[in-house]
Structure 1
Amino acid sequence: MKNNLKLLVNELRPLDRLLRNKSGRYLHINEIHQIDPQTFSNLPRLERLYLHNNHIKRIPAGSFSAMPKLRKLRLDSNALICDCSMLWLVKMMAQHNDMYIDATCYQPARVTGMPLSIMEERDFECKIPEIQKDPEDITVNFGEAAMFTCVVTGDPTPDIIWLRDSNEIPIDGTRYEVMENGTLMLHDITDVDTGYFECMAKNPVGEVHSKPAKMTVQHKRDSANLQKAAPVFTVRPQKQFAKLDQSINFDCAANGHPKPHVAWLFNGERILLNERISIRSNGSIFIDDIQESDAGLYTCLAENINGKVNASATLEVMVPPTFILEPHNKTVRLGDDVEFICTAKGVPKPLINWFRNTLVLPLTENIILSNENQNLTILSVTADDEGIYHCRAENAEGYVEGSAFLTVENYEIIRPRIVLKPEDTDAYRESSVQLPCEIESEPPATVEWRKDGSYLDDSRKHSITIIGSLILHNLTLRDTGRYECSVFNEYGRDTASAFLTVKDRVIPGDEYVNIALTEATRDVDLAIERTMDELFNNNNTSKTDISRLYRITSFPNAPAREVARAAEIYERTLDKVRDFIQSGHKVTSAEPFLYQNVLSNQHLEVIARLSGCVAHRDKNECSDMCYHSKYRSYDGSCNNFAHPTWGSSLSGFRRILFPIYENGFSQPVGWNKDIKYNGFSLPSARLVSTSIITTDDISEDQQLTHMVMQWGQWLDHDLDHALPSVSSQTWDGVDCKKTCAYAAPCFPIDVPPNDPRITNRRCIDFIRTSAVCGSGMTSVLFGTLQPREQINQLTSFIDASQVYGFEKSVAEDLRDLTNENGLLRVGVTFPGRKPLLPTVGINGMDCRRNLDESNRNCFVAGDIRANEQIGLAAMHTIWMREHNRIAIQLKVLNPFWDGDRVYHEARKIVGAQIQIITYEHWLPIILGAEGIKQLGQYKEYDPNLNPSVSNVFATAALRFGHSMINPLLHRYDENFEPIAEGHLLLRHAFFSPWRLVDEGGVDPLLRGMFTTPAKLKTPTQNLNSELTEKLFYSAHAVALDLAAINIQRSRDHGIPPYTKWRQFCNMSEVNDFDDLAGEITDETVRNKLKELYGSVHNIDVWVGGILENQVEGGKVGPLFRCLLVEQFQRLRDGDRFWYENPSVFKPDQLRQLKETSLARILCDNGDNIDTIGENVFLLPEVQDGLVSCEDLPSMDLRYWADCETCGENGGLERAKRRARRDTETDDDILIDEARINGLEDSQHEMENTIASLKKRIEYLEETCKAD
Structure 2
Amino acid sequence: MDWRLYLVFSLKTFICTVHGQDKSQMPPKMISVFNNEYFFPRDSILVDSSFKCQAENGQIQYVWKKDGVVVENTQFIPVDNSTGILRFVKIQTEHYGTYQCFASNTYGTSLSTPFNLKESMLGSFPIGEPEEVRCKQFKHCKIQCRDKPTCVPDSECRVEWKIGEGTKSDVEITKRVGVDGNGDLHFLWTDTDLTGLQYKCGMWMEQLKTLMIGSQTSLKIDYSASVEFIEPTIVFKEDGKALIGGKGVLRCMFSGYPVPDIEWMSLGKNTTIKNTTGKYIISDFGRVLTIINAKPDNEGVYSCTGNGTTNSLSRRVFLNVTSAPILPGDNQMRDLVIPVGKDAIFRCEAESLPNEMPPTVPIWNKNGVDLVIAGGKYILAENSQVLTVTDVQKSDTGVYQCLSENSEGVLLKEAILKVIDPITVRKRPLDNYKIAPGDILNLAVVADTDPSLTLQYKWMFNDHQGNESEIKSNEYWKLSWPINKQLTIDVSNVTDPTILVSLAGYYIVKIYHNYDEKVINITVETDVFPTADIVSVSPNTNTTNTAQQTNSNAAICIVVAAIFSLFY
* TM-score, scaled relative to structure 2: 0.38
Structure richer in helix, relative to its length: 1
* TM-score, scaled relative to structure 1: 0.20
Structure richer in strand, relative to its length: 2
Higher relative contact order (CA 8 A, sep 6+): 2
